[in-house]
Amino acid sequence: MELPNQENEMSKMLNGQVHILNQSLKFINSMSLKCALHLNIPEIIKNHCAPMTLTELITALGINKSKANCLFRLMRILINSGYFISQKISENEQGYVVAPSASFHSTKDASLIRIDVSLVAPVLQPAFVKPWDYLTKWFLNEEFCDMTPFEMAFQMSYWEYLRKEENAGRHFNESVAIDARLIGGVMIKECREIFEEIESVVDVGGGTGTASMIIANAFPNLRCINFDLEHVVDGLTSSENLVHVAGDMFQAVPPANVALLKWILHDWNDEECVKILKRCKEAVESSKEKGGRVMIIETVVNPDEKQKQVDEETRETQLLLDMLMMVLVGGKERDEKEWGQLFADAGFTRYKITPIFGFRSLIQLYP
């Protein structure tokens, strides 16, 4: 008979094995989802308008019947990840439906907000996967100090890649536009008082202008400027209270009462962030007495001792994005201390953090 502490040792090793295997095989969740998206399974199941049996799914997909058991296993792992649900149809039959959390439509305006599993598509492009193979070499070699793992993999910056590779650029613009629609919708509700008090807002690095459009429509008396690089705003159509302006945020930002920076600063290192913040400060400085401020929408990572205050999925999403920014663009997700330092270095006197955007917060910065 084994001694109790030997048993203990064995069970620790078995638990360790589960943990290590589970963590190292997690990419299979993403890759299985990628396959389901390419097969168009979520749309097929949604269009079926009732729980869909495995046999019905096989027929709809035109898959050889010999793969039935493999499709069952693909669906089983996706059910485990929370993308689909298996519902009882009759005594002997189960049917698949898309899980509510994987397909959220605004009940008020379906065209405005549609959050579903197709959001992951850009994350599974080669641009997201290949740079990880270079991470070890990047850590070890001095010569790569001024490069990102992405640049090692593709011999160009992520931004150049998006400009050159049409598909990747389109996927990127679509994903950030979906995000901007969601956050824009929350902003016009949660920041109503701010927008009602001011006369102008500039969305710095506003992409194709989705957030500006939502704000401009909700506040017709507000003058909105969507500001981004020439090739991004080129050809975009202005409206009554929305103009698209081309420029470089490191050089100058168009003056306005409020400068909005959504998902910009996490792309850049500290020195670059201070430069952008200084340009934004100059843009809002003359509105100091009229509610002038910079509004930042970004993650505020909790320090380790406070991590229990946010749920595990939020925390993990923040840390995953932090790694993604490190590998793609040389940026980072910051904690409050790191944000505070940037704000002080850029010459701001006061800031206020309000966690109103899921895993991200609104940070208001006063000149």
Ligand X SMILES: C[S@@+](CC[C@H](N)C(=O)[O-])C[C@H]1O[C@@H](n2cnc3c(N)ncnc32)[C@H](O)[C@@H]1O
Q: Which does 116 bind (CB under 5 to 8 A by kind): ligand X, ligand LAOBWLLU, none?
A: none
Measured CA to CA, the distance from residue 245 to residue 235 in angstroms comes to 11
Nearest approach, Cβ of residue 122 and ligand LAOBWLLU (Å): 5
Measured CA to CA, the distance from residue 252 to residue 248 in angstroms comes to 7
Between CA 279 and CA 356, with CA 274 as vertex, the angle to 5 degrees is: 90
Q: Does 261 bind ligand LAOBWLLU (CB under 6 A)?
A: no
| DSSP code, position 303 | P
Q: Does 116 bind ligand LAOBWLLU (CB under 6 A)?
A: no
Nearer Cβ to ligand X, position 293 or 360?
360
Q: How many other C-beta atoms can be found within 10 angstroms of the C-beta atom of residue 317?
A: 17
Q: Does 228 bind ligand X (CB under 6 A)?
A: yes
Q: Which does 151 bind (CB under 5 to 8 A by kind): ligand X, ligand LAOBWLLU, none?
A: none
Measured CA to CA, the distance from residue 243 to residue 223 in angstroms comes to 8
Beta-sheet pairing, 258-262 with 334-335: unpaired
Q: Does 176 bind ligand LAOBWLLU (CB under 6 A)?
A: yes
| DSSP code, position 318 | H
Q: List the x/- string, 263-282, binding to ligand LAOBWLLU by CB under 6 A.
A: x--xx---------------
Measured CA to CA, the distance from residue 262 to residue 205 in angstroms comes to 8
Nearest to 298 by CA among 224, 353, 226: 353
Measured CA to CA, the distance from residue 84 to residue 204 in angstroms comes to 38
Nearest approach, Cβ of residue 337 and ligand X (Å): 24
Q: Does 207 bind ligand X (CB under 6 A)?
A: yes
Nearer Cβ to ligand X, position 254 or 340?
254
Q: Which residue has the tokens 């930002």?
A: 253
Nearer Cβ to ligand LAOBWLLU, position 151 or 267?
267
Nearer Cβ to ligand LAOBWLLU, position 95 or 207?
207
> Which of the residues are catalytic?
266
Binding site for ligand X (CB under 6 A): 176, 179-180, 205-207, 211, 228-229, 232, 248-250, 262-264, 267
